[in-house]
Amino acid sequence: MTRYRTYPDLKIGNSHIRPRRLRQNEQIRALVQENSLQKSDLIYPMFISEKGTKKYDIPSLPGISRIPFDDLLHEIQEIQNLGIKGIMLFPVVDPSVKDPTGKESYNPNGLMQNSIRKIKENFPNILIFVDVALDPYTTHGHDGITNDAGYVLNDETVEALCKQSLSYASCGVDFVCPSDMMDGRIGAIRSALDKEGYIGTSILAYSAKFASAFYGPFREAVSSGARGLDKKTYQLNPSNSREAVKEALLDIEEGADMVMIKPGLPYLDIVTKVKNEVHIPVTIYQVSGEYALLKNAALHNLIDEKAAVYETLISMKRAGADLIITYYAKWVCENIL
Count of alpha carbons within 13 Å of 176, Cβ hemisphere only?
33
Q: Which of 306, 296, 301, 312 is nearest to 335 (CA)?
A: 306
DSSP H/E element including 323 = strand 323-326
Residue 258 and residue 283 in contact, taking contact as beta carbons nearer than 8 Å: yes
Measured over the CA atoms of residue 221, residue 237, residue 204 and residue 113, the dihedral's sign is negative
* Cα-Cα end-to-end distance for the chain: 55
Residue type, 288: S
Beta carbons within 8 Å of 19's beta carbon, 6+ residues apart = none
The annotated binding site for Mg(2+) is made up of 247
Q: Which of 31, 32, 63 is nearest to 47 (CA)?
A: 63
The annotated binding site is made up of 247
* Residues with active-site annotation: 209, 262
Alpha helices in 41-174 (DSSP H): 72-81, 111-122, 154-170
